[in-house]
Structure 1
């Protein structure tokens, strides 16, 4: 049986005796050794290292790696789903842009057609108005020319009478005798033509 000394008893260890609490010799000249570096404990340390490594390997293989693999698979699926959704959204956006550009081109063509039609209509209206004004001006011009010709002929008849009277008076003053009115009229008429 194992007997331990009482707490009240103190016994001094003898020279070379091993102290029971530390398991080291009580020799004051020897340096105590760190247990993991003690070559006597290497086989048990290697055995526990192999057991611990094996258990750690099994823990990683059976628990940790399947969870990490599952997480990676979920993330891969989520990324693939997000990429598919992004591609779908991009194709929808491209279709919307193409539809917008087509509607814009149609609107521009329609605006150009409306503008051309308005220009043609305005040009036709301006041309009709110009022709109407020109016709009115030509009519007024013809009336004015007729009026002028009428005034001119009236003036010319008066001028002829005045010229005949004036010529008769001048000849009478110069020559001293009066001339025949028919001869004066013939002379004025010859000068006018």
Structure 2
């Protein structure tokens, strides 16, 4: 090995000393237990103080803030749900009222249409009855006129037949008397 100017050795040799030569791992050495327990107590106490005074209050504050936020969000959600239920009930009520109004309007329109149709039907029936009465009167007039003409036609026809058969003109009064006798 190469020696340094001050007497140090330079190389890759593992340093060894009297503490490692006994073969006991230093933390498990019974001679060091008292010092290790004191340092463990001091370290644990310092960590406990840091945690209880600084870290845990901050965590508790964060948890409390989150709990308050969650509670307020839940309350807002419950209020929104109640508002939505109330709005749905109001909407349902409005919808029912609109349905009832529409039904009433439909019934009124139906009644109006029916009344108008009945009025038109009555007017048409009146017109038709008047036309029927006029037609019946005209038929009666025509029938009366035709019946009045039947006698003259019968007289003329009978006279024409007699003249054709006998070759002489027929007696008008005799033919009229014969026709009158047949009618009765």
TM-score exceeds 0.5 = yes
Query: Is the aligned partner of 1:10 residue 2:2?
Result: no
Deviations 1:42-96 (A, max 9, x none): 3322221222122212222222222212221121122111111222222222222
Q: Is the 8 A contact 2:155 2:179 kept in 1?
A: yes
Once the 2 structures are TM-superposed, how far is the Cα of residue 172 of structure 1 from its aligned partner? Answer: 6.0
Once the 2 structures are TM-superposed, how far is the Cα of residue 39 of structure 1 from its aligned partner? Answer: 3.5
Deviations 1:136-185 (A, max 9, x none): 11111111111111112111211222123323444565688856224322
* Change over 3 Å in CA distance of 1:75–1:9 after alignment to 2: closer
Unaligned 5+ residue runs, structure 2? Answer: 10-14
Instruction: Give the SS at the match of 2:153.
Output: helix
After TM superposition, the score normalised by the length of structure 1 is: 0.74
Query: Is the aligned partner of 1:181 residue 2:178?
Result: no
The aligned runs of 1:71-90 (5 Å cut-off) are: 71-90=62-81
Partner Cα separation in structure 2 for residue 26 and residue 49 of structure 1: 22
Instruction: Give the SS at the match of 1:10.
Output: coil
Shift >3 Å, 4+ stretches: 7-12, 30-34, 167-179
Query: Is the aligned partner of 1:53 residue 2:53?
Result: no
Q: Is the 8 A contact 1:35 1:41 kept in 2?
A: yes
How many matched pairs? 173
Partner Cα separation in structure 1 for residue 72 and residue 32 of structure 2: 57
Query: Is the aligned partner of 1:65 residue 2:59?
Result: no
The residue number in structure 2 matching 1:162 is: 153
The residue number in structure 2 matching 1:16 is: none
* Change over 3 Å in CA distance of 1:34–1:116 after alignment to 2: same
The residue number in structure 2 matching 1:106 is: 97
The residue number in structure 1 matching 2:17 is: 24
The residue number in structure 1 matching 2:107 is: 116
